[in-house]
Amino acid sequence: MNNNFIKLLIFFFISFFLLTPILIIFFQGLYSINNVNELYAPRYIFGSSKLIFLVSLVVLLISIPLAWVNTMTNFWGRKFIQIFCILPLGVPAYISAYAYAEILEPGGYLSIYFSSFYGFSIRNTFFASIILGLSLFPYVYLLTRIAIINFSARFIEAAKTMGKTPWQCFFKVCLPMAIPGIAAGLALALMETINDFGVADFFGLQTLTIGVFQYISVINDLPSAFSLSLIILIIMLLLYIFEQKIRGDKKFNNSSYESIQWSRYQLTKGKTIVVFSLSFLPILFGFFVPLLFNFLIFINNYEIIDYSNYLSSLYNSIILGSLVGFFCILVSIFINFYSRFSRNKKFLYYKKIINLGYAVPGVVIALGVLIFIKYINQFSYFTILATLIGLILALIIRLISISNNSIDSGLEKVGKSIDDASRLIGRRSSTTYFRIIIPQIRLSILAGFLLVFVDTIKELPITLLLRPFNFDTLATSLYEYSSNEMFENGSLHALTIILFLSLVIYLFDSVIEKKQILKTR
């Protein structure tokens, strides 16, 4: 009875802190909905809608053909393309925006080195959608490729035996059966598009996220910020429900398809050149150009970089990322314990509600946490507004789904027979979970920690709004340098963020996932 009371208390504590800030936004938004006519909401809605539409086109045009040729064809360089296709996720879109502005705009590096090139402005919705698309297409590419292999490969083989051409196999077999993967990946990409702050702010776009940020930090009009936040919550909720429904019970992971065998179309030399060149373009512009440009800028300007600011920002980023990663893993272990052993089916819905935080933009979460802390301070003898607690809480709400999904993926590979055997010999469920199951999913726990860690390092709007005084991370320092047209001073910050993210993504895809697959065989 005592143990059950402690579990219930922990469960209530987690729910209170993770859900209350979002509920505050929802109810405050309903209360402030009358302000919606006074805050130019149509301007922000139209700006976000236009950006979403263009990003969708860019992402789909890149990812679907890329997934097809990498899965169903064989050509020179295919392995290289397959490995590097996911690395654009390691370049935050705002870093690409800073880099391309420095390269292409009037007075940029191309106009300096080529006198015939005068440069042009890229600070508009069209170029913003291209930059976001180059950063986000791996979401759709990965899930589409896995969907093709899991659901289409055998049917494509059957279509080949019936004499169907590659084009017919692609349009009549592959695309219809890959729709769940395409839709799930696109929903994730669009959530990230709505959440984007760095690109929209740097390019001067009028989006919903920018509107909330301006009403909080510039105009100081909280009722209007609540109304805009409610609109964002509704849009994100619809996207989240759509993604969950279209995905259904299908599992988009690497554990089941590695052993599936299928024949690939062998491309001729001419087609190989065309396919490799076109496949390399999104990798070139989404990963290599920002990476190499930042490296060259750092080499040419290493003398003017403020290394004390860099080391301080790096230290703060590592400490913050470690704390958020640790608490996310701790909370996720407890949530997945209840999810695995609870007989109440409704707990699965609770877990999905907790995971909804990833679909909520950072500025909305930051606003909810600000009001939540304000209420707590009214009933406490100490203030937590000027500490890291509010910042850490907001980041946990935003990133808890990453650690949840990582641990849940590991638990799926541990059979329920272990639970039944432990129950038969009189072991308590907590003993089984923490002494037998948890040691078997160490890699999943490590993967969850690393993914939360790097997401914390690149997170911008939450850190900007909630950081304590004189507390800078790599992302906020880079934002300040770029806002002051001093990108060269932040080149090392940008380079460090890219290398951190790329290393973790590579380790996760090439090392951790493969070890998990080997353990299940």
Quick: pLDDT tens for 314-364. Answer: 999 999 999 999 999 998 888 887 777 666 666 667 777 787 788 888 888
pLDDT 10s digits, 189-233: 888 898 889 999 999 999 989 988 888 877 777 888 888 888 888
Is the pLDDT assigned to residue 252 strictly greater than 50? no
468 vs 325 pLDDT, higher one = 325
| 511: pLDDT strictly greater than 70 | no
Residue 255: the pLDDT is: 42
Lowest mean pLDDT among 32-36, 233-237, 353-357: 32-36
* 299 Cβ contact partners less than 8 Å away, ≥ 6 residues apart: none
Q: How many CB atoms lie within 10 A of CB 42?
A: 10
Domain assignment of residue 361, yes or no: yes
Question: Which whole number is the average pLDDT over 259-271?
Answer: 71
Give the HSE-up count for residue 232: Cα atoms under 13 Å, Cβ half-sphere. 36
Better pLDDT: 385 or 309: 309
Average pLDDT for 417-424: 68
Q: Which amino acid is at 61?
A: L
Cα–Cα distance for residue pair 92/511, rounded to 1 Å: 22
Dihedral Cα 69, 136, 360, 310, nearest 10 deg: 140
Question: If you search the block for the tokens 């639970």, which residue do you land on?
Answer: 419
Q: pLDDT digit string (tens) for 86-139?
A: 889 889 999 999 999 999 988 888 888 887 888 888 999 999 999 999 999 998
- SS (HEC) of 502-517: HHHHHHHHHHHHHHHH
Residue 150 is assigned to a structural domain of this protein: no
pLDDT over 80 at 367, yes or no = yes
Strand-pairing partners, residue 74, are 266
Query: Is residue 125 assigned to a domain?
Result: no
Helices 208-217, 41-72: axis angle to 10 degrees equals 130
* The pLDDT value given to residue 228: 85
Instruction: Judge whether 66 and 85 are in contact, CB under 8 Å.
Output: yes
Pick from 193, 164, 184: which is nearest to 63 by CA?
184
Residue 102 is assigned to a structural domain of this protein? no
Domain count, the chain: 1
Is there a domain that residue 273 lies in? Answer: no
State which residues form the domain around 3. 1-31+301-521
Task: Report how far residue 130's alpha carbon sits from residue 104's, in angstroms, rounded to the nearest whole number.
Answer: 14
pLDDT of residue 220: 75
- Assess if residue 377 is contained within a domain: yes
Who wins on pLDDT, 353 or 312? 312
Mean pLDDT value across the chain: 81
Helix (H, G, I), strand (E, B) or coil at 74: strand
Above 80 in pLDDT, residue 423?
A: no
User: What integer pLDDT is reported at residue 516 of this predicted model?
Assistant: 45
Question: From CA 202, how far away is CA 110, in angstroms rounded?
Answer: 20
Q: What is the pTM of this model?
A: 0.85
Q: What is the pLDDT of residue 97?
A: 93
| 401 found inside a domain | yes
The answer to whether residue 93 sits within a structural domain is no
- Residue 357: CB atoms within 10 A of its CB come to 22
What pLDDT sits at residue 38?
A: 57
- CA 362 to CA 352: how far, in whole Å? 18
- CATH label of the domain that carries residue 373: 1.10.3720.10
Decide: 82 and 70 in contact? Cβ < 8 Å: yes
Which pLDDT does position 518 carry in this prediction?
41
Q: What pLDDT does residue 294 have?
A: 92
d(CA 504, CA 451): 7
For the chain, give the percent of residues with pLDDT over 70: 83
Name the band, by pLDDT with cuts 50, 70 and 90, for residue 258: very low
